[in-house]
Amino acid sequence: LVDRTWIPRRRSASVVNGSHHVKYSPAFVTPSCTNTTAAGRQQHQNAPFLGVLEQSSAKKSATFQHCIMAAVQTSVQNFDVLSSVNEPLVNRYASRRKSVFAETYDPENDDDDDGARAIFPKTDEQRSRLCDSVKNILLFRSLDKEQMNEVLDAMFEKIVKSKDYIIKQGDDGDNFYVIESGIYKAYVGEDQKHIHTYEGRGSFGELALLYNMPRAATIQAETDGQLWAMDRQTFRRILLKSAFRKRKMYEALLDSVPMLKTLQNYERMNLADALIPRTFTQGERIIKQGDVADGMYFIEQGKVSIRIQQDAGEVEVSNLEKGGYFGELALVTHRPRAASAYAVDNVKVAFIQTDSFERLLGKLMDVMLRGMKHYRYVDEPVWRMILEACREE
């Protein structure tokens, strides 16, 4: 923080005239008000954690993470906005301190039918231009194809006339805009200093997709034009609900692996977050027999052919579909691939790196030993190979 030191509100109790009083110290204190002795500095550094622990001591099940979240929640309305290094030009003119408010949304409690979501028709050319306009914006870079299509579908048209104000500095942010046509100028300050001109392309107001914070500049149309807009709640709903669905699907995929049956719920959730989506086109080789085994694959979509190289050539030994998995022995033996895998059609998989797995859960053999009786995928010779490899490592 720039000019204040953040300390959670700490509760203290006192008895005055037989009454029990509870008072709270300020959530923010200036450095000049803090104790400058060595002991005081140490106490000052520990204050956020001590204050939260005092509030949470009655909850025996509270964890360190819960304590941190409690500390954040005590000062959510006094949050400092720190500017990004690569922020858009317009955002650089925002005042030094802003109030930021974020709405809550629980995708698990959202029972709306996905088929009922709003879709605003667009031509292929318009969708292509929209995609080009947003692909370099940080908020959109991590979207997969499905999420991007949902976002583009939800953007609605806004027709503007010359001299119309699209947004005004200081107003609450509501929508994010992508320019379809027209010329727009950006102004800041009471004297309306001109800082930028958008000529038929570009976007502005992306911070409105994250926070309900005052606009950093005024945007006025110089000509008639057309914009595509998206509101914050729709954007967050698409992203959060999509991420929620994907996480549930990943957890189900992990739960289908016999050797991972002994995972605790929190372990399965952490592992689901570490899965990496990958896509392969028809006929593309996913893994090659003899290559270094670096991880395991789960099939989200499509079919995969498993083949083994023999004297007469490659022979198919298995054909896997959605919900299947392969490469799991890479998590145990770290030996070269025992077979090759090919995409029968367009395939979408989730990949877990061996390093990520071991960083989260440790050696897989330790996980398997919790319930070895559940694992029936490999025969006895392979079991002996696994055990031998684990002993060597």
Q: Classify burial at 61, counting beta carbons within 10 Å of its beta carbon; exposed 0-12, middle 13-18, buried 19 or more.
A: exposed
pLDDT by residue (tens digit) across 214-272? 888 999 999 999 999 988 888 888 877 777 888 888 888 888 887 787 788 888 888 88
Task: Lowest mean pLDDT of 30-39, 215-224, 336-345, name the range.
Answer: 30-39
Residue 107 pLDDT: 52
Find out whether 157 is annotated in a ligand binding site.
Answer: no
Question: If you average pLDDT over residues 272-288, what whole number do you get?
Answer: 92
Question: If you average pLDDT over residues 125-131, what whole number do you get?
Answer: 87
The runs of H, that is alpha helices, within 285-379 are 354-361, 364-368
Q: Which run of H or E residues covers position 193?
A: strand 193-199
Q: What is the C-alpha to C-alpha distance for residues 393 and 391, in angstroms, rounded to an integer? A: 5
Q: Regarding predicted confidence, which is higher, 364 or 298?
A: 298
Residue 289 pLDDT: 92
Q: What is the C-alpha to C-alpha distance for residues 393 and 375, in angstroms, rounded to an integer? A: 21
pLDDT at 311 over 80: yes
Question: If you average pLDDT over residues 289-302, what whole number do you get?
Answer: 91
pLDDT by residue (tens digit) across 146-157? 888 888 898 999
B/e letters for 36-49, b = 16+ CB within 10 Å, e = fewer, are eeeeeeeebeebbe
Q: What percent of the chain has pLDDT over 90?
A: 23
Question: If you average pLDDT over residues 82-103, what whole number do you get?
Answer: 43
pLDDT at 389 over 90: no
Residue 63 pLDDT: 40
Question: If you average pLDDT over residues 39-52, what whole number do you get?
Answer: 45
Find out whether 337 is annotated in a ligand binding site.
Answer: yes
Task: Lowest mean pLDDT of 27-41, 121-135, 139-153, 225-239, name the range.
Answer: 27-41
pLDDT at 347 over 90: yes
Domains of the chain with CATH codes: 5-78 (no CATH), 101-237 (2.60.120.10), 256-392 (2.60.120.10)
Task: Lowest mean pLDDT of 18-22, 270-274, 360-364, name the range.
Answer: 18-22
Residue 115 pLDDT: 44
Residue 343 pLDDT: 96
Q: Residues 295, 330: contact at Cβ < 8 Å?
A: yes
